[in-house]
Structure formats: C-alpha cells, structure tokens
Amino acid sequence: MGDHPRLADARGFTVVELVVAIAAGLVVLLGAFTIIDHTFAETQTVTRRDDAAARGRQALDLIVRQLRAQVCLQTNPPTTPIVSGDGKSIVFYAYLGDPTTATTTTQYDSGSGQPYPVKHTLAYTSVGGNPGSITETDAPVTSFSPVTVGAATTRTLVTDVVPPSGGAIFTYYGPSSSGS
C-alpha cells in the first residue's frame, strides 16, 4: 500500500508513562506550593517583628528624650525631677522646649523667669496577663508656688508590650555607694 508506517512503529508515550509523568509533576508542584506557603507565613512573622521593633524603637526614643529633659522645679527648696516611680510607672517633670527662645505658647514663672515644665507620667498597663500598653499622661505646670498642674492629656505610646521575665518595665539605678 504505500509509504505509511505501521501504527506499532509510531513513537510516543504510553498511557502508563503519561500517568507516571503526571504523578511526578504533581509531587513537584505540591512541594513547590508547600515551600511557597511556608515562605509566606515566615514573611508575615518577620514583618510583624519588624513592625513591633519599629514601634518600640519610636516609643523608646520618645521616652529617653523626655527622661533626659528632666528638670528640677523652681520651688523653695527645689523639687527633684522624679516625683515617683516603680517597675510599672514613672512620674517626672521635664521641659522639652528651648528656654532661651521665647515663644507665644511658652508660659514663664513671674518670680523666677523660668519656663514652666510639664509633669509626665509614663505607665504600663495590662489586663489579665495579656500584652499591655505604655501610655503617657502630660499635665503642664501652671504655678511653682504651690506646684499646680493644668488639665492632663493621655495618649498611648505603644501597644502589645510584653514585659521582660522580671515583670518590670522601668528599672531605677541610684548613685553608686562606692563614690565612683
């Protein structure tokens, strides 16, 4: 009849070879999807940690700046900057403005000419052992004699705070008794 090859001589895959190739391909795809799923979950974990570190760093920078700006009140005798403190809160006076530059919003004591500071309260609160938050309450000093503060405002600095194993957020160090 002619030049047509017989069907038995045709090159190609058998049904068994196709089933084995499809099964192997599915195993490879399943492995790839598993890796992608784990990678996505780990990426979310890293993103959450990075976000928490950034929020914590921002709050810590603000807290450190305020603590470094502590001032004694111009009273007789002078009032120490730190009013009170424990492992969960600290109350102190600080002035974050430039005392050499008069502004229309800065209030000054008529007797001493000193600018009035702000009474800061930093506090950690938690309910039922859950992660808590650090809040800041600011009340402007309006008079040195007697020490009087104005209306307080409160804001949350950072949330989802977990204290270290000791439970204290704030730690205080007194002067060294060795004189150094």
Is residue 90 scored above 90 in pLDDT? yes
Q: What is the structure's pLDDT at 8?
A: 58
Q: What is the pLDDT of residues 20-44, one digit of tens each?
A: 999 999 999 999 999 999 999 899 9
Name the 3-class secondary structure at 143: strand
Stated as kind and residue range, the H or E segment containing 88 is: none
What token pair was written down for 134?
């650090």
- pTM (whole model) above 0.75: no
